[in-house]
A and B are shown apart, each in its own frame.
Chain A
Amino acid sequence: MSSESSKKRKPKVIRSDGAPAEGKRNRSDPEQEGKYYSEEAEVDLRDPGRDYELYKYTCQELQRLMAEIQDLKSRGGKDAAVEIEDRRILSCVHFMTLKKLNRLAHIRLKKGRDQTHEAKQKVDAYHLQLQNLLYEVMHLQKEITKCLEFKSKHEEIDLVSVEEFYQEAPPDISKAEITMGDPHQQTLARLDWELEQRKRLAEQYRESLSNKEKILKEIEVKKEYLSSLQPRLNSIMQASLPVQEYLFMPFDQAHKQYETARHLPPPLYVLFVQATAYGQACDKTLSVAIEGSVDEAKALFKPHEESQDDESDSDAEEEQTTKRRRPTLGVQLDDKRKEMLKRHPLSVMLDLKCKDDSVLHLTFYYLMNLNIMTVKARVTTATELITPISAGDLLSPDSVLSCLYPGDHGKKTPNPANQYQFDKVGILTLRDYVLDLGHPYLWVQKLGGLHFPKEQPQPTVIADHSLSSSHMETTMKLLKTRVQSRLALHKQFASLEHGIVPVTSDCHYLFPAKVVSRLVKWVTIAHEDYVELHFTKDIVEAGLAGDTNLYYMALVERGTAKLQAAVVLNPGYSSIPPIFQLCLNWKGEKTNSNDDNIRAMESEVNVCYKELCGPRPGHQLLTNQLQRLCVLLDVYLETEIHDDSVEGPKEFPQEKMCLRLFRGPSRMKPFKYNHPQGFFSHR
């Protein structure tokens, strides 16, 4: 190295000797190395390591020269200037070298950059290629998995297990030697076997079908034979009828009724059976019959398919009619209401005969869509009755059975589910329809075995025999007493309207022989009018004036005294007593609020009514109460203290025998009549 560097250094030294030498050499270089000088080419020739050495050396030289120059300058001397000049020249040469080296370095750097760029482009191209290939690989892999996941249809077919297959399949299908090792072949073989077997089964199925056909034909033939028997049997029955009649055996009629009963809806059937049974066992006066068209009932009970047909037919008809008539919404609603309130075509008639030959006719209906029963009542009497005006409501079909049991007024549907049905077709209450349909009393439902639990929107309603039978006896007895008490009232009203209070001979002991006060008026009044009266407030407030009661006004007179009595007649008369409220017009208006004795008179008739009932069943109660009222008025007027300051005789001289006139803090009058002695005392 050192030798080479020294060689290089030499020419430089030479060159540094003088500029002309340099110039010569510059000119001579192209001649030596070719046609032109290119520093770039030179770069390739030179070794960068040597250039580095040269650079180091040049720098050292420069340092040294600078140091020498400094040294010379500091020493100062004459020859110093020359010496310095030499050194300066030498250092210039070195600077030139440095410049050269700098240029070379720049060129090398540029070359290096170019090379790097080239290489980078190549790498990029390769990278792109690699990515393409990877993508292709991925795609192919996907395809492969797709293929692998493909489901063949044969997998869904249930095949016999492999062992069974090898046992049962013939060897020409199983080909054990091939298929044992190869699952693909094995599956194919198994599929073949399956096909074979299915073909066989299809064959078998066809055979069975033809067999069935054959048997059906046989059955048909036998049925025909059986139906041909029916007319023959009928003719035998017909022939036997005269014999039955001759022997008084009404099997046939009873049989016919039972036959009809089969078409009754369940509740009516329960009622029919129970009423018949009760009539036979306990009460010979009860007769039961079925009314209505059996054919219509049969039509209702046809098998399901036909009824469905019917429905579709009717639907079609409806469509047609709508097309034809285009009825308004109201008409449609009307139709729907009618449909909802439809009765079963059959009804059960119960005739209840009372002792005096009056008959209560009850007709029970079943409302199919509402699942409730209704009843219509009619009373016929043995002798024609003259109907008094005030007795108008007593035997009317609308009210004769009202409140047979407390609160059972029969104007509301007992089935809670009905309210929802009504809402749909816009019926507010059943009340508006009861005149037409009959009353749905609770006892009617019970007789039909229908039990409706209260406060439960959708109860299960089943016709129940035990429910019906448990109510039959009490209800029949109640019905009889009701009719009898109504008939008794009916008769009594007739004479009451003529101002006569009929007192039967067995009740005479309750009253004195001489009664001066007279009943002059007996009229029926409306519930609203009763409520309006000023002296009935207490009764209304006590909740005793419901709208199911009947209301009457009686007027009792003696001289100038007029006693008004407003009467509430409970439908449960005579077990529930009539209630009287009094207002006396005599020397001012007196009611229970301003006169204690009027109050006492009211309690005499209202609270102490039990002694007035007379002989059982107590149908004389109302007339006895009225007669008692007349007596009470007599006592009241005769015992009234005479005002000494008023001139003239007493209007009502005391004729009744009384022990004392007044008693107790509220100065009660002696209202109680003591029978055999005939005097009045205090209660």
Chain B
Amino acid sequence: MNGHCNLKVNDTAEEFLCNNKGFSELIIDSKKSVVHRKHETSRKEAEDKSRLPALEAAYTSILRELGEDTDRQGLLRTPLRAAKAMQFLTKGYHETIDDILNNAIFDEDHDEMVIVKNIDMFSLCEHHLVPFFGKVHIGYIPNKKVVGLSKLARIVEIYSRRLQVQERLTKQIAVGISEALQPKGVAVVIEAAHMCMVMRGVQKMNSRTVTSTMLGVYLEDPKTREEFLALSQSN
């Protein structure tokens, strides 16, 4: 077993992972072995270039349908720029945890909480293709293995640079860290502003959405959870 059973993952997380066939290619399949995970990408960098013309054509058609004049100077190369921008904003699809974590896990005899907070996060709402952005706070209690601090931010990048739903993003980050480190517990809190609510629809400028995932000892022990929440919210 790949160490996943060391963690007391709550039932709903397991259920969520197993039952949600929707994002089958993107799922962190907890049963897959490390070898199989290496090949788990649905998009490779070389493919990006070959897909660019189709994306450009789609954007040109969008501009025209919106009533704009695609020949004016400001819009001449916009389809290409917009296509590249969109590919950048979804580049998380061709990155995996293994690529970035491989060398940065260290054996340290440390079992106190480690928190990295205020990680800026930018993602795309999968329902409206409009950005949402905010801050991610991550805490974990190592179990003899600590991870390089920037790797936590890189894990956030991998999962956020995709078409996302904030709830799923939070869980994916938490589960990704769990799998890589097998810590005693992981906590992830995301506070974000959704442009789909701010720029359109209800148009509430100051609304923020907060989601959290608590795994392991953070779920079971309220005091640990409180400590994390107090430390990550303080400013």
Q: Do A and B bind each other?
A: no
Which positions in B face A, CB cutoff 8 Å?
A: none
Which positions in A face B, CB cutoff 8 Å?
A: none
